[in-house]
Amino acid sequence: MSEPPRPPLRPSLLDPLFAPARGLPGVGPKMAPMIERLLGTPERPARIVDLLFHLPQGGVARRLLGSISEAPPGEPVTLGVTVTGYRPPQAGAGKRPYRVLVEDPTGDITLVFFGMPAPRVEKMLPLGSHRYITGRIDLWDGHRQMVHPSRIVDEAGLAALPAVEPVYGATEGLTSRAISKLAHAALDRLPTLPEWQDPAWLAKNALPTFADALRAEHRPEDAPLPAPDGTTVATPARRRLAYDELLASQLALALIRARSRRGPGRANAGDGQLSGRIEAALPFALTGAQSRAVAEIRADLASDRRMLRLLQGDVGSGKTAVALLAMASAVEAGRQAALMAPTEILARQHLDRLTAMAGPLRIRLLTGRDRAPERRATLADLAEGQVDILVGTHALFQESVAFRDLGLAVVDEQHRFGVHQRLALSAKGEAVDILVMTATPIPRTLALTCFGDMDVSVLDEKPAGRQPIVTRLVSTDRLDEVVAALGRAIASGERIYWICPLVAESEYVDLAAAEDRFADLAQAFGDRVGLIHGKMPGPEKDAAMERFAAGDTRVLVATTVVEVGVDVPEATIMVIEHAERFGLAQLHQLRGRVGRGAKPSTCLLVYRGPLGQVARARLETLRETEDGFRIAEEDLRLRGEGEVLGTRQSGLAAFRLARLESDGDLLEVARDDARLIVERDPGLKSERGKALRVLLYLFERDAAIRLLSAG
Ligand code: ADP
Ligand code: MG
């Protein structure tokens, strides 16, 4: 997909906002690098829009006074105090601070000044005077103190203060007050923008314009009300800005969706006979959720619109059977189907399991590892239509792979797939229907932010008869006990996964840890211990997996290669070392490798203490529940959406103004709004459509606009 370079399309109206922030008045050579550090990225300098979108975290009511005894430590407060004593630094004592004692009717604290000449301190705070000081109280060595109050004023100064002063996330050297000044200067550059929201909706929800909302945030008149749980209540201004951002992202997705569905699709479902026979021959009855999903998919396949559907199902919810029946439907219609897995192990496992369930369907495997003659034969059969279902890794979508007539592509376990890859995938055949399966449950809000362009089927029900998994937290001090217990478990015929710690971002370092652990355990249990890791040649990996599946080895020491999808029903014990280093979703996936058979299972989360509060809360969550959706919600709450999605690396939508914890409810509204807009005005040509283009540029969703201009 090579694209010719395009001239910048951004309307000149927005130019003032995309100008460098360091061009603002009052920014000198000292301040410029600090602004870059706070708001710039390696790719681009900090711009005025970045300053405007750097919203204050809260506001301090300046004239609202706190008291020394009740001021919460660590939070900004303004106090009315009397100066009662000086403690100058002792001579020759190096970098000792100047201390000033102050009191109010409720108590006293020490003000601390580093590197400030004594006369200056004494002039600001004359003995016996009454002053209003603002700053954070903290505890140092058991004493309450305030280091460098951010403001010290007298009675007249207090009267002249703004009612509320915004508090920004600052960076070293750049104070909250300096940012506030810059934000004011940036507000002066704000052009008059067309209204892109529906006026009736704004009126109904009593929301301000975009510009007024920014002004209200950066020049607050009321301090935001603290919510009962201590967080800040979203003001109408916040809600407005959050909605603008969410609408921009959902509109971009809706445009992509409209485009990938454009052009006539084809009916890719047959008469149901073949898939009906396959379903009847399954060794189990479908769960209600599976039947629902299959019906939804069949309806999509049968329609002449293109399918773009996400199948979300927790570990073990039975996505494979759903995929098989979907593919069988496509085959009935005379088409071919493809199933893409993220790793070779999984591709092979899919092949085995599909083959076992698929009756007369002709299924073949294609990976990067095939020998040339085999590969040629497979490709020839594929082109002639001698293959019904092709299973494989990314190799499936190489250019040399030509289907006779691909109707359905299923992508397994790929929740980090970006919208652009989805576009590329659908180009592999004529009007290919696409089903994406994710094993990691994604909270509904997040599903919308990255899959807002897709329809969703959810497998929210597990096959009956599953045994619960008992999860325990064990300190690493007790590793010896764990190994001893393992010995007993091996003796009684259990099979065990032992997951090694995530040591670093480097697979090689992780590998060293796995090899060490393997050596230890092999010393204790001999050749009943196997090892598998991502750096092994493919055939060795398969062999290690097979020996474990067959019971030749009883303990499989592994790096996280077994994380997704691997299925050995006889395995009943999962040990995860340094559990505190793994993400919650990842731990849930790993744990899902046991509890797949008829016997009860155990998962030991071995951690190295002491655990911080969040780390402990995460592991506790896992101990308390096996519900992947609950775990995902909790993960989101504890870590924020950027971490959960891995957006840091993948550059997926991370929001600047909206906070999914508090604004998540707006997401669905934005999704529906966006779909309606695209339905009514697909080229964004109406008056509102033009304003919406401005919105897309403002939030840098330019890629979606290019789709528009590409016709
Ligand atoms: P997922 O990929 O969603 O984690 P799988 O498709 O691997 O789940 O299914 C997990 C296991 O459950 C497999 O062994 C599968 O054969 C079995 N299974 C699937 N659906 C059912 C069902 N309706 N009843 C009983 N067992 C089922
Ligand atoms: Mg699976």
At 437, the amino acid letter reads M
Q: Please give the distance, rounded to the nearest whole angstrom, from the Cα atom of residue 314 to the centre of ligand 2.
A: 9
* CATH fold for domain 273-459: Rossmann fold (3.40.50)
Q: Is the CB of 463 under 6 A from ligand 1?
A: yes
Among protein residues, the one whose CA lies closest to atom 17 of ligand 1: 318
**Cα(242)–Cα(236) distance, rounded to whole angstroms?**
10
Residue 557, beta-bridge partner list: 498, 531
Whether residue 151 contacts residue 180, with contact meaning beta carbons closer than 8 Å, is answered with no
Q: Please give the distance, rounded to the nearest whole angstrom, from the Cα atom of residue 334 to the centre of ligand 1.
A: 27
Q: Is the CB of 320 under 6 A from ligand 1?
A: yes
Query: Worst-scoring range by mean pLDDT, 31-45, 518-532, 551-565?
Result: 551-565
Q: How far is CA 244 from CA 210, 594, 655, in A?
A: 8, 44, 11
What's the confidence (pLDDT) of residue 194? 96
Work out the pLDDT band at 703, boundaries 50, 70, 90: low
Q: Please give the distance, rounded to the nearest whole angstrom, from the Cα atom of residue 390 to the centre of ligand 1.
A: 21
Q: Is the CB of 318 under 6 A from ligand 1?
A: yes
Tokens of 113: 């000044």
Q: What percentage of the chain exceeds 90 in pLDDT?
A: 45
Does the pLDDT value for residue 265 go beyond 60? yes
Q: Please give the distance, rounded to the nearest whole angstrom, from the Cα atom of residue 437 to the centre of ligand 2.
A: 8
The DSSP-derived string for 656-682 is: SS--HHHHHHHHHHHHHHHHHHHHH-T
Q: Which ligand has the shortest distance to the CA of 441?
A: 1
What's the confidence (pLDDT) of residue 7? 47
Q: Is the CB of 313 under 6 A from ligand 1?
A: yes
Number of the ligand 1 atom closest to the C-alpha atom of 315: 4
What's the confidence (pLDDT) of residue 564? 55
Q: Is the CB of 441 under 6 A from ligand 1?
A: no
Q: Is the CB of 437 under 6 A from ligand 1?
A: no
Tokens of 579: 């559990």
The rounded Cα 650 to chain-centroid distance in angstroms is 10
* CATH fold for domain 469-625: Rossmann fold (3.40.50)
**Cα(237)–Cα(207) distance, rounded to whole angstroms?**
7
Q: Please give the distance, rounded to the nearest whole angstrom, from the Cα atom of residue 321 to the centre of ligand 1.
A: 7
| More confident: 171 or 264 | 171
**Cα(314)–Cα(592) distance, rounded to whole angstroms?**
9
Lay out the sheet containing 495-499: strands in order across.
469-475, 601-607, 571-577, 495-499, 555-558, 529-532
The phi-psi region of residue 318 (left if phi > 0; otherwise alpha if psi is between -120 and 50; otherwise beta) is left
Q: How far is CA 188 from CA 24, 49, 632, in A?
A: 10, 12, 42
Contacts 24+ apart (CB under 8 A), 39-48: 45/20, 45/21, 46/20, 46/21, 46/22, 47/17, 47/18, 47/19, 47/20, 47/21, 48/16, 48/17, 48/18, 48/19, 48/20, 48/21, 48/24, 48/186, 48/189
Q: Which ligand has the shortest distance to the CA of 597?
A: 1
The DSSP-derived string for 34-95 is: HHHHHH--SSS--BHHHHHHS--SEEEETTS-B-TTTPPTTSEEEEEEEEEEEEPPPTT-SS
Does the pLDDT value for residue 209 go beyond 90? yes
Among protein residues, the one whose CA lies closest to atom 26 of ligand 1: 463
Pick from 35-49, 77-91, 155-169, 327-341 the range whose average pLDDT is largest.
Answer: 327-341
- 661-691 tens-digit pLDDT: 678 788 889 989 999 999 999 999 999 999 9
Q: Is the CB of 597 under 6 A from ligand 1?
A: no
What's the confidence (pLDDT) of residue 478? 94
Query: Worst-scoring range by mean pLDDT, 150-159, 179-188, 210-219?
Result: 150-159
Q: How many helices and strands (H and E) does the chain possess?
A: 26, 21
The DSSP-derived string for 168-206 is: ---BTTB-HHHHHHHHHHHHHTPPP----S-HHHHHHTT
Q: What's the burial of 472, exposed, middle or buried (CB within 10 Å: 0-12/13-18/19+)?
A: exposed
Q: What's the mean pLDDT when you consider all of the chain?
A: 84
What's the confidence (pLDDT) of residue 58? 75
Q: Please give the distance, rounded to the nearest whole angstrom, from the Cα atom of residue 350 to the centre of ligand 1.
A: 12
Q: Please give the distance, rounded to the nearest whole angstrom, from the Cα atom of residue 567 to the centre of ligand 2.
A: 8
Q: How far is CA 510 from CA 41, 334, 501, 517, 560, in A?
A: 30, 47, 7, 11, 9
Number of the ligand 1 atom closest to the C-alpha atom of 319: 3
Q: How many CA atoms lie within 13 A of 516 on its CB side?
A: 10
Number of the ligand 1 atom closest to the C-alpha atom of 357: 16
- 311-366 tens-digit pLDDT: 988 878 899 999 999 999 999 999 999 998 877 888 888 999 899 998 899 999 99
Looking at the chain, the domain(s) classified CATH 3.40.50.300 span 273-459, 469-625
Whether residue 543 contacts residue 550, with contact meaning beta carbons closer than 8 Å, is answered with no
Q: What is the pLDDT averaged over residues 113-121?
A: 88
Q: Which ligand has the shortest distance to the CA of 279?
A: 1
**Cα(437)–Cα(414) distance, rounded to whole angstroms?**
7
What's the confidence (pLDDT) of residue 64? 65
Ligand 1 pocket mutation, candidates 317, 324, 350, criterion most atoms within 8 A of CB: 317
Does the pLDDT value for residue 652 go beyond 70? no
**Cα(223)–Cα(418) distance, rounded to whole angstroms?**
40
Q: Is the CB of 439 under 6 A from ligand 1?
A: yes
What's the confidence (pLDDT) of residue 435? 92
Work out the pLDDT band at 133, boundaries 50, 70, 90: very high
β-pairing, 555-558 vs 529-532, is parallel
Whether residue 584 contacts residue 471, with contact meaning beta carbons closer than 8 Å, is answered with no
What's the confidence (pLDDT) of residue 509? 63
Q: Which ligand has the shortest distance to the CA of 596?
A: 1
Q: Is the CB of 286 under 6 A from ligand 1?
A: yes
Number of the ligand 1 atom closest to the C-alpha atom of 412: 2
What's the confidence (pLDDT) of residue 1? 38
Q: What is the pLDDT averaged over residues 189-213?
A: 93
Query: Worst-scoring range by mean pLDDT, 12-16, 83-87, 169-173, 640-644?
Result: 640-644
Q: Which ligand has the shortest distance to the CA of 339?
A: 2
What contacts 20, CB < 8 A, 6 or more positions away? Answer: 45, 46, 47, 48
At 640, the amino acid letter reads G
- 152-163 tens-digit pLDDT: 988 888 877 777
Q: Is the CB of 317 under 6 A from ligand 1?
A: yes
- 302-312 tens-digit pLDDT: 988 888 898 98
What's the confidence (pLDDT) of residue 419? 54
What's the confidence (pLDDT) of residue 2? 40
H-assigned helices in 303-343: 319-332
Whether residue 267 contacts residue 302, with contact meaning beta carbons closer than 8 Å, is answered with yes
Q: What is the DSSP letter of 228?
A: T
Q: Is the CB of 290 under 6 A from ligand 1?
A: yes
**Cα(534)–Cα(511) distance, rounded to whole angstroms?**
8
**Cα(697)–Cα(625) distance, rounded to whole angstroms?**
43
What's the confidence (pLDDT) of residue 67? 86
**Cα(266)–Cα(305) distance, rounded to whole angstroms?**
7
- 461-519 tens-digit pLDDT: 888 877 889 999 999 999 999 999 999 999 999 999 999 876 655 556 666 788 889 99
CB under 5 Å of ion ligand 2: residues:
565
Whether residue 514 contacts residue 500, with contact meaning beta carbons closer than 8 Å, is answered with yes
- Reported as type and span, the H/E element at residue 252 is helix 236-261
Whether residue 244 contacts residue 210, with contact meaning beta carbons closer than 8 Å, is answered with yes
Looking at the chain, the domain(s) classified CATH 2.40.50.140 span 63-161
Any idea which residue has 């909206």 for tokens?
658
| More confident: 452 or 384 | 384
Number of the ligand 1 atom closest to the C-alpha atom of 317: 3
CATH classification code of 63-161: 2.40.50.140
| More confident: 537 or 264 | 537
Give phi and psi for 629, each to the nearest 5.
-70, -40
- 395-443 tens-digit pLDDT: 887 778 889 999 999 988 664 555 555 556 666 666 788 898 887 667 6
Number of the ligand 1 atom closest to the C-alpha atom of 287: 23
What's the confidence (pLDDT) of residue 261? 65
Q: Please give the distance, rounded to the nearest whole angstrom, from the Cα atom of residue 623 to the centre of ligand 1.
A: 23
- 572-626 tens-digit pLDDT: 999 999 998 888 878 888 898 898 888 899 999 999 888 888 788 889 999 998 8
Q: How many CA atoms lie within 13 A of 504 on its CB side?
A: 8
Q: What percentage of the chain exceeds 70 in pLDDT?
A: 85
The DSSP-derived string for 515-584 is: HHHHHHHHHHHGGGEEEE-TTS-HHHHHHHHHHHHHTS-SEEEE-GGGSSS---TTEEEEEEETGGGS-H
Q: Is the CB of 321 under 6 A from ligand 1?
A: yes
Q: Please give the distance, rounded to the nearest whole angstrom, from the Cα atom of residue 439 to the centre of ligand 2.
A: 7
- pTM for the model stands at 0.65
